[in-house]
Amino acid sequence: MSLKYHRYKQQTREKLRSEEGYAMSVRRMIEPESVFGQMKNNRNCRRFLLRGLPKVSLEVGWLSLAHNLLKWAAMHQKGRVREQV
């Protein structure tokens, strides 16, 4: 392995071991889980309808888009979305 790679790996390890790095990694672990949980439980999307990686990727994209639009609509209804100029 290259020396540059080892330095980069060491810097990353030090950042992750700091309190701030640990807090960020914990937050990263938790955030996506709620989205997948909502897709599975609230939207009843337990299996992919299509087969093959390109089609499944497209299906995940549509599910993610629907999730984001529903989230935006809920925020807009509560008045939390700023109007774009």
pLDDT tops 70 at residue 84? no
Distance CA 4, CA 10 (A): 10
String of DSSP letters for 5-60? HHHHHHHHHHHHHSHHHHHHHHHHHHHHHHHHHHHHHTS---S-SS-SHHHHHHHH
Cα–Cα distance for residue pair 79/62, rounded to 1 Å: 25
Q: pLDDT tens digit string along 18-69?
A: 888 888 888 777 777 777 777 878 778 888 888 999 999 999 999 989 988 9
Q: Is 67 helix (H, G, I), strand (E, B) or coil?
A: helix
